[in-house]
Amino acid sequence: MVELKNYMEVMVWQYLDEILAGHQGVCSCERCRYDIVALALNFLPPRYVVTAKGGTWAKVRALEQQFYVDVVTAISNAVTLVKSKPHHCDDD
């Protein structure tokens, strides 16, 4: 079995908590977290990879080094946007 993944999405979720920890006063409710991830992914070009389910991620690790700075920058920009205008209250 193989699966198709947008590796940028994997990376954004992976670094989200780390970036959030570095920002004061940003809401980390589920709605705001998803908003941050969606915005960050809209800043980033998609990187689709085919992986064997449960297989090694060796090739993908190389992508991680290549795009780390872009991913961190995109998340930081997204956090700043969501912090200035959170959507979580709109749905209540």
Give the interface with Zn ion as residue ranges (CB under 5 A): 27, 29, 32, 86, 88
In whole angstroms, the minimum distance from the beta carbon of 14 to Zn ion comes to 21
Q: Do residues 64 and 72 lie in contact, with contact meaning Cβ atoms separated by under 8 Å?
A: no
At its nearest, how many Å lie between Zn ion and the CB of residue 64? 28
Q: Which residue lies nearer to Zn ion by CB, 20 or 63?
A: 20
For residue 82, what are its two tokens? 């969501």
- Between 27 and 71, CB nearer to Zn ion: 27
Helices (H), 1-92: 7-21, 30-43, 58-84
Please identify, using beta-carbon distances, which residue of 8 and 32 lies nearer to Zn ion: 32
Q: How far is the CB of 23 from Zn ion (least distance, A)?
A: 13
What is the pairing mode between strands 48-52 and 2-6?
A: antiparallel
Nearest to 28 by CA among 90, 74, 86, 92: 86
Specify the residue, 32 or 37, whose C-beta has the smaller distance to Zn ion: 32
What's the min distance (Å) between Cβ of 49 and Zn ion? 31
Residue type, 77: N
